């Protein structure tokens, strides 16, 4: 009471006692902070691992920062800024666009940038002078028509297959022409504007090229060389690992092919190595196109180096990797040959695999060392091992087609029961269009003529359940079989029969595996020819093996 009649004052403490529950909003905020801190730490760790994987990525980032800083000094210092004015900003834009990861890509982008800017500047100056001669009334119409014409032509030209490598150059022509002619129209001096911007673009291009070449250069040729050698080693390792797993005893004659096994495919080293080789086509072509723009450097000291041959060798190597992927598929197939049958040909399979992997590694080593060696002895041993495997399969072919198990006469009785069961199963479908009394009468007669033991095995469902399913079938659309309706609480997948595999079919899985291995050996001849062609054109050192 405050002394005033009818007034009451209620004091609510503002301090929360210890142990009191916090509002839910506070818990949510604290949880969000923890999640943000956790995700930030995870991102930092991933970035660190990404940088450790290839230190050239960090070097490239530092080089870009250095180039942009050098060009920005032209604006920060007063003297160059007074000479070029605001057009010097084009130097920073040129560095940001031109600077690529490798030296060859930078030269390629710089060529397109320089040629496109030069053509756009010349065209803009010519159109601007023509527009000035026509007078102030017709000048904007001429400029507008020229912009439409240039945009249409350049956009169509860059879509032509033969001009796709110069797509960036046509894009430079379009936006450089538009910016120069529009700004020149407003400033009243298109010649001065065009020259200032061309100077700024030239300065930015020179700075980008010098920094990329002189400061820890990253050559596309060396990257292409290392990538191809890595693919050779990956194919050899994948082949040995896949065959080694196939010849191991996993403890089960017929391992099941499930979704769990499918999910584990990408985690296997053999699968990841082969997949990286198969996906390297675009990378090899990109590096080869960039390497063509690079001057002689390092171990590649002569002009017109055959970089396109690296792409051809990579294509043949991918065809060999396809066979390894097929072997990997047989390894994880559901129909598997018994282990005792695989052991029968283990020596021949292992010998052919070792010889093939050794030859692939030898080819990769020759490319890596840039040496040309005679591989006739390796090829002879490989071919002889493949022939021994083929002869072993031919001599023991009866193991792949015959069934050695004695016939089981006890299986005849279940077959008879299965026939009765199928008769009862098909009976409701045959009488679907008849009335219910006729169906009941024939069904009772069929059940009476069936022996008691067979009845329990062939017709487990009761009469009322069959009638209920029959009624649901008649009133369903589209019409389905009686057993297609699932029972209460039971899924249809539990009632689906699984295919049984004969022993002869399982044995043919081994024939498939060996045929794929022999096909891999046959494709190695084309790989040897491709590497020899590369060594001739690249002038590798000739050495005997």
pLDDT tens digit string along 453-504? 444 444 444 555 555 555 555 544 455 454 544 444 444 445 445 555 555 6
State the average pLDDT over residues 331-340.
81
Residues above pLDDT 90, as percent of the chain: 30
pLDDT at position 456, please?
43
In what helix (H) or strand (E) does residue 95 lie, and over which residues does it extend?
Answer: helix 89-98
Q: Calculate the average pLDDT of the chain.
A: 76
pLDDT at 123 over 60: yes
Picking from 8-12, 56-60, 335-339, which range would have the lowest pLDDT averaged per residue?
8-12
pLDDT at position 88, please?
79
pLDDT at position 104, please?
92
For residue 213, the Cα-to-chain-centroid distance in whole angstroms is 32
Picking from 83-92, 279-288, 473-482, which range would have the lowest pLDDT averaged per residue?
473-482
DSSP state for residue 189 in the 8-state scheme: -
pLDDT at position 355, please?
93
The CA distances from residue 525 to 127, 158, 232, 304, 376, in Å, are 61, 40, 15, 27, 11
- Give the C-alpha separation, 398 to 396, whole Å: 5
Closest CA to 207 of 115, 93, 91, 117: 91
pLDDT at position 413, please?
36
pLDDT at 40 over 90: no
- Give the C-alpha separation, 530 to 317, whole Å: 9
pLDDT at 153 over 90: yes
Does residue 437 have a cis bond before it (omega within 30 degrees)?
Answer: no
For residue 522, the Cα-to-chain-centroid distance in whole angstroms is 27
The CA distances from residue 141 to 116, 146, 175, 469, in Å, are 24, 9, 19, 81
Q: Give the residue with greater pLDDT, 146 vs 265.
A: 146
pLDDT tens digit string along 224-268? 999 999 999 999 999 999 999 888 865 554 444 444 444 445 567
For residue 430, the Cα-to-chain-centroid distance in whole angstroms is 53
Do 534 and 367 meet the contact criterion of CB atoms below 8 Å apart? yes
Q: Under 8 Å CB-to-CB from 168, ≥6 apart: which residues?
A: 109, 112, 113, 116
pLDDT tens digit string along 347-385? 999 999 999 999 999 999 999 999 888 778 888 999 999
* Full DSSP string of 364-410: HHHHHHTEEE--HHHHHHHHHHHHHHHHHHHHTTHHHH---SPP-GG
Confidence of residue 308 (pLDDT cuts 50, 70, 90): very high
State the average pLDDT over residues 322-327.
91
Confidence of residue 223 (pLDDT cuts 50, 70, 90): very high
pLDDT at position 240, please?
92
State the average pLDDT over residues 258-286.
72
């Amino acid at each position: 009471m405050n002394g005033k009649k009818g007034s009451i004052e209620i004091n609510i403490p503002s301090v929360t006692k210890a142990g009191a529950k916090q509002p839910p909003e506070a818990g949510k905020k604290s949880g969000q902070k923890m999640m943000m801190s956790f995700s930030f730490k995870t991102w930092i760790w991933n970035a660190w691992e990404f940088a450790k994987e290839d230190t050239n990525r960090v070097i490239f980032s530092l080089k870009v920062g250095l180039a942009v800083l050098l060009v920005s000094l032209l604006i920060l210092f007063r003297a160059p800024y007074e000479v070029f004015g605001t057009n010097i900003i084009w130097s920073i834009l040129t560095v940001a666009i031109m600077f690529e990861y490798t030296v060859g890509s930078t030269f390629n982008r710089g060529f397109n940038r320089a040629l496109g800017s030069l053509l756009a500047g010349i065209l803009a100056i010519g159109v601007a002078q023509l527009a000035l001669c026509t007078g102030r009334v017709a000048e904007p119409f001429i400029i507008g028509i020229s912009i439409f014409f240039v945009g249409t032509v350049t956009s169509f030209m860059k879509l032509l297959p033969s001009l796709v490598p110069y797509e960036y150059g046509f894009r430079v022509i379009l936006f450089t022409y538009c910016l120069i002619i529009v700004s020149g129209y407003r400033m009243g001096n298109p010649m001065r504007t065009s020259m200032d911007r061309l100077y700024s673009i030239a300065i930015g291009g020179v700075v980008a090229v010098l920094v990329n070449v002189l400061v820890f250069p990253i050559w596309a040729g060396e990257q292409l060389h290392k990538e191809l050698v890595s693919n050779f080693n990956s194919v050899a390792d994948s082949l040995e690992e896949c065959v080694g797993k196939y010849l191991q005893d996993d403890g089960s004659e017929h391992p099941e092919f499930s979704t769990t096994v499918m999910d584990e495919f990408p985690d296997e080293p053999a699968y990841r190595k082969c997949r990286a080789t198969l996906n390297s086509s675009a990378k090899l072509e990109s590096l080869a196109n960039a390497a063509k723009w690079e001057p002689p450097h390092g171990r590649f000291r002569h002009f017109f180096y055959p970089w396109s041959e690296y792409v051809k060798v990579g294509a043949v190597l991918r065809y060999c990797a396809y066979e390894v992927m097929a072997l990997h598929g047989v390894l994880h197939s559901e129909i598997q040959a018994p282990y005792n049958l695989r052991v029968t040909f283990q020596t021949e399979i292992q010998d052919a695999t070792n010889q093939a992997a050794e030859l692939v590694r030898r080819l990769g080593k020759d490319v890596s060392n840039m040496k040309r060696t005679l591989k006739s002895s390796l090829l002879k041993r490989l071919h002889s091992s493949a022939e021994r495997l083929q002869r072993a399969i031919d001599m023991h072919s009866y193991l792949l087609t015959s069934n050695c198990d004695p016939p089981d006469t006890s299986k005849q009785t279940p077959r008879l029961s299965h026939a009765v069961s199928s008769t009862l199963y098909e009976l409701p479908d045959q009488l679907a269009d008849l009335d219910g009394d006729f169906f009941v009468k024939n069904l009772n007669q069929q059940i009476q003529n069936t022996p008691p033991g067979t009845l329990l095995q062939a017709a487990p469902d009761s009469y009322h359940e069959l009638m209920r399913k029959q009624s649901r079938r008649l009133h369903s659309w589209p019409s389905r079989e009686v057993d297609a309706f699932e029972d209460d609480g039971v899924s249809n997948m539990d009632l689906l029969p699984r295919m049984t595999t004969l022993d002869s079919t399982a044995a043919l899985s081994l024939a498939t595996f060996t045929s794929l291995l022999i096909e891999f050996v046959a494709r190695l001849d084309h790989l040897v020819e491709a590497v020899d062609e590369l060594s001739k054109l690249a002038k590798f050192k000739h050495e005997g093996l």
